[in-house]
Every structure is written in C-alpha cells, then in structure tokens.
Homo-oligomer: A and B are copies of this chain.
Amino acid sequence: MDTIGFEQHDHKNCVKGALSAVEAHCAAHKLQFTAVRRRVLEILLSEHRAMGAYEILDVLRDEGLGSQPPVAYRALDFLVSHRFAHKVERLNAFIACTHPGETHTPAFLICRSCDAVAEAHAEPSKGMLGRVASETGFFIEQAVVEAIGLCPQCRKGALPCP
C-alpha cells in the first residue's frame, strides 16, 4: 500500500505524466479522450485536490467548454468508470487518480482541517471487509474506504478541534 498526497512533489511532471498515461491507455483501449474529458482530468490533476462537479463546471464554463451540469457529470463518469479519477463519497467530490491504469481500490485520507485528500491503496478482499464478506456470503464488487481526520501538518500546528 502506498500513499501520495501529503508530501511535496514535482507537480508539473506529475500532471504531465498522468495525462500521457491516460492518453496511452485510451489509445490502447480505443476510448475517446475528448476535449472535455481531457480538460476535466487536467483540472483535477492540476488542482491536486477533491473538487465538486459544479466547481469543475465553473472552469469549463469560463473556457466555453460547456455550461450545463451534464457536461461535467458525463466527463466525470467517464473518468471515474475508467478509474482515471475517483469520487470521494464523503465530500461529494472528485479527485484525479494518482496511478491511472493500474487496477486498484482507492482508500482516501481526508483532512478535515485543510481539506487535503491523500490516496492510498486498499485491498478489500483481504482485511476486515473481506472477512465479513466471506463469512456472510456477500460478494464485493467495489469498496468505499475513506478516513476523516487530521493530516500530519494540521496535526502539529493549527486547530485542535474545530
């Protein structure tokens, strides 16, 4: 399991790298990586945080790429269904995937103080969920795993209990 999100990194290259990985994946799988879809992923990658659909739509509108909710939601549906982005259920928001292409179940660490979100990998078939599932005969297809708390930075300084 690895984590990305609370550390410093070469952001420009991280955006570029993710974009070309997605590009390659779409080419290989004959998926249409259209202007809107590409731009939404770019927005999510460059902001590097969880964004609401309407917040994304505002950017698209400013750029003349679409003005109605379905435009944003459809692009997001595409990105999420191909795992280029994820939905953070707790926030009703979306975030670019930090390792597109690989099959994985994301787990999120959500800081309630600074709103940073870090993505980690989970293995739901193992661990607690997997045990419950196999005991009861439940077949897991997807898993939502999100922790809410304080990131390392906010834990040190700032607000103890807002």
Which A residues are closer than 8 A to B by beta carbons?
1, 3, 6, 89-90, 107, 109, 111-112, 118, 120, 122-124, 126-129, 131-133, 135-152, 155
Contacts and interface: CB of A to CB of B under 8 A. Distances in A.
Nearest to A148: B142
A73 B162 CA distance: 21
Contacts of A143: 145-148
Copies in the complex: 2
Contacts of A131: 1
30 contacts: A3-B132, A3-B135, A3-B136, A6-B136, A89-B89, A89-B144, A89-B146, A109-B133, A109-B138, A111-B138, A112-B141, A118-B138, A120-B128, A124-B147, A126-B128, A127-B128, A129-B147, A133-B149, A136-B151, A137-B151, A137-B155, A138-B149, A138-B152, A141-B148, A143-B146, A143-B148, A144-B145, A144-B146, A144-B148, A145-B145
A140 B144 contact: no
User: Which residue, of A112, A122, A131, A145, has the highest number of chain B Cβ atoms within 10 A?
Assistant: A145
Contacts of A150: 138-139, 141
A128 B109 CA distance: 12
Contacts of A137: 6, 151-152, 155
